Amino acid sequence: MAVTVPDHAAAEEHPVQVAQVGRQNALSSPPPRADLPAERGMLFFFNDEEARFVDAAVERLIPSDSEWPGAAWAGVLNFIDRQLAAAYGAGARMYLKGPWVPDAPPQQGYQLRYTPAQLYRIGIAETRAHVTSNYSGREFWDLGAPVMDEVLSSLESGAIELPSLPAPVFFETLLANTIEGFFGDPVYGGNRDMVGWRMVGFPGAYAQFIDLVELYNLPYTRPPISIGDTGARQAYLDGHTHDAQRQ
């Protein structure tokens, strides 16, 4: 089912970029409707079980609350899946030659031989194996939220030892990618309906603040714009650049 764009009534009443100062302390436009179901796009990299793991884990990292949906609703699973299926997952722009020294001090950075895609595949499998053997055969996603948090914290601290890679490296990669998927442009498959941007009040790809930058404390309520916004893109393709006048 296609999900409609959330209701922007408050912002649309004021097509000007900015509402009056002091009118309302809202830092951003209204939250999208979290009661709408999360969308699952086509998966390019994860299998269904891996996807269940990732969806459950990212929702613990950025959970929904009474006002704002979390990472699962925002499509972070789809974001990470597409990243791993593409250049990032394949280790593009990484130096991956040996020899490898996996227990190097943290100051020397990432020293594993895995591409990000391999890191996820192994990290998920080994975390799941750890969970099933320590939590009476259950899967990570069947644990209650507090127990999932406990597992994630133990990955973060290294209290869980995975056989083939340092658990904190897997955890930090997952956390970084989750934040990217929640706050990156929605064209990449996450940040659905620009939920991350609305939550903090980031206007997105629209960017010209020369006339506003000195209006301190201005409530800026114009809804955000994605780089995939077809109107903005079309204006560009039509020749409406800053340099050339539209004919």
Partner 1 sequence: MTVRMKPVDVALVGGGLTAAILGKELAEAGQTVVALERGGMRQTVPDFQSPTMHDELKYDVRHAYAQDVSVQTITFRNFVGQQALPMRQLGSFLPGEGVGGGATHWNGQTWRFQPEWFVLKSWAEQRYGRGFLDDDVTIQDWGITYEELEPYYTFFEKVMGISGAPGNIKGQIQVGGNPFEGPRSEPYPNPPMKQSHSGFLFGQAAAQLGYRPFPVPSANVTRHYTNPFGAEIKPCMYCGFCDPFGCEHFAKASPQVCILPFALANKNFEMRTHSYVLRVEWDRQAKVASGVTYVDAQGREVFQPASMVVLCAFAHHNPILMLQSRIGQPYDPETRTGTVGRNYTYQTMTGAEVFYDGEKRINPFMAAGALGTAIDDFNNGSFDHSGLGFIGGGYIAAYQTTGRPIYHHPVPEGTPRWGLGWKQAVRQHYNSTVSLGFHGSSIPHPNNYLGVDPTYTDAFGQPLGMLTYDFPYNDRLMARYITEKMAGIAQAMGGKQMSVGWLDDHYSIVPYQTTHNTGGAIMGTDPKTSVVNRYLQSWDLHNLWVMGSSVFPQNAGYNPTDTVGALAYWAADAMIKQYLKNPGPLVQP
Kindly indicate which of the ranges 7-15, 41-49, 135-143, 180-188 contains the residues binding partner 1, using the contact rule CB under 8 A: 180-188
Residues forming beta bridges with residue 117, ordered by sequence position: none
Count Cβ atoms below 10 Å from residue 241 Cβ, excluding itself: 11
| CB nearer partner 1, residue 132 or residue 172 | 172
CB of 22 to partner 1, least distance (A): 11
| CB nearer partner 1, residue 242 or residue 246 | 242
Residues 186-245, interacting with partner 1 (CB under 8 A): 188, 196-197, 199-210, 212-214, 216-220, 225-227, 229, 232-233, 236, 241-243
Alpha-carbon gap, residue 234 to 220, rounded angstroms: 25
x/- mask, partner 1, residues 92-131, rule CB under 8 A, reads xxxxxx-x-x--xxxxxxxx--------------------
Please say whether the dihedral angle defined by the alpha carbons of residues 27, 30, 33 and 39, taken in this order, is positive or negative.
negative
Q: Which two tokens stand for residue 81?
A: 């899946």
Query: Does residue 173 touch partner 1 according to CB under 8 A?
Result: no
Query: Does residue 135 touch partner 1 according to CB under 8 A?
Result: no
Size of the site for partner 1 (CB under 8 A): 70
Cis? peptide before 99, omega within 30° of 0: yes
Count Cβ atoms below 10 Å from residue 134 Cβ, excluding itself: 12
CA-nearest of 163, 157, 218, 174 to 59 is 174
